[in-house]
Amino acid sequence: MSRLGDLGARLYRGDVSLDIVGARKIWYGVSILITILAFGALLVRGLHMGVEFEGGAVYTTPATDVSVEEVREVAEETSGSLALVQTLGNDGTMRVQVSGLDTETSNETRAALAETLGIPTEELNAELIGPSWGKQIADRAWQGLAIFMVLVVIYLALAFEWRMALAALIALIHDLTITVGVYALVGFEVTPGTVIGLLTILGYSLYDTVVVFDGLKETTRNFERQTRFTYRELANRSLNGTLVRSINTSVVALLPVGGLLFIGGGLMGGGMLNDIALSIFVGLAAGAYSSIMIATPLVADFKSREREIAAQDRRVLNKRAKRAESGEEPEPAEDATAPRAAESTPAEAADEDDPEDGGRDEAAGVGAGGQRRGPRRQPVSRGRGRGRPSGKRR
């Protein structure tokens, strides 16, 4: 087994634990840096909006031997606007897209392209999209995105709590910003397929975040009944419990999307396939990163500022310091080499003997909180065997 596979197996079994929450400032810094680069790409290069949003004309040519550069030059010279030319197959079929054209200019561009291709004008398929229709599509896309965000926050606030809802919202905005920044950086066209891809990756990112939050909620259910771990340490243990699952699902999802992007779009000629595949590929990678490195550390920071959680954290740290001063061997909070009991819960940890937490002597058979340990001894009946000969029965 390779080192990477061995590490994955040890993470899955709980033999090792990565201090992800403890290194949260590093992840915050990386996310801030990527966000700044994304905004910089948006300001410098901007987004290349498709004709579906800005209006314009789309021409589909038949099979031809004319080069893409020649077709682009004729379209831009005639229309006076930038033209996007994409090959749709190996037979020379092309899709020419020019934004911001009116009907008269569109007809002139169509005639010039037909003349260059050496075909009648009627054989060149043309589709004219008005700017008002494109604006309507853009407004509806923004409205759908806003409604989606509101519903996500409401659902998470009801299913978990508002701090987790806020952390999930920040993670979703983080994923959106990175994806849009990549689009601006590579110069891909923003089409309705892009919007479909964005909504898809937001749903996937939310699914991964909910899985992590569910494990965090279960791990910290009886947080105040134990004195071994702080809230951040329990959050890190919970995150390590779902880490391998999150990585596996993300990699499995990225493989087919990568095939669509690099093989289907790159070798077979993209079109809308490129638009959908790029947004999903970037969004899946950003979503996997944010659900692990951003969402859970944010929840731990939010919760650690609560008065009750902060007081419990101080009790845990004080008792840990007293154990160290008294010469007792301290229990490692997050040891990267010690085995970690993945099946144990905070409630079970609370039942372990702790002389400073109201624990009882093992010999008495009673654990912390008055819970009796081991089998209960039943008293022997005093009247058993009375009036009966020893060893015989009539």
Reported as a single tens digit per residue, the pLDDT across 162-216 is 899 999 999 988 988 898 888 888 877 787 778 778 878 878 788 888 888 888 8
Q: Mean pLDDT, to the nearest integer, of 144-166?
A: 86
Question: Of 89-98, 128-137, 245-254, 367-376, which range is least confident?
Answer: 367-376
- Give the homologous superfamily in CATH for domain 3-48+133-307: Multidrug efflux transporter AcrB transmembrane domain (1.20.1640.10)
Does position 78 have pLDDT exceeding 70, yes or no? yes
* Cα–Cα dist 221/345, whole Å: 9
Range list of H helices, the chain: 3-13, 24-44, 51-54, 68-79, 103-117, 131-159, 162-186, 192-219, 231-258, 272-290, 296-304, 307-325, 346-351
Sign of CA dihedral 105, 108, 113, 119: positive
* Cα–Cα dist 4/11, whole Å: 11
The answer to whether 294 and 31 have CB atoms below 8 angstroms apart is yes
* Cα–Cα dist 296/302, whole Å: 10
The answer to whether 291 and 247 have CB atoms below 8 angstroms apart is no
**pLDDT value of position 333:** 45
Write down the domain spans for the chain.
3-48+133-307, 56-129
For domain 56-129, the question of CATH label 3.40.309.10 is answered with: no
* Cα–Cα dist 105/111, whole Å: 10
DSSP one-letter code for 344:
-
DSSP bridge pairs for 372: 366
| pTM (2 d.p.) | 0.69
**pLDDT value of position 127:** 81
- Which long-range contacts (C-beta less than 8 Å, at least 24 apart) are formed by 372-379? none
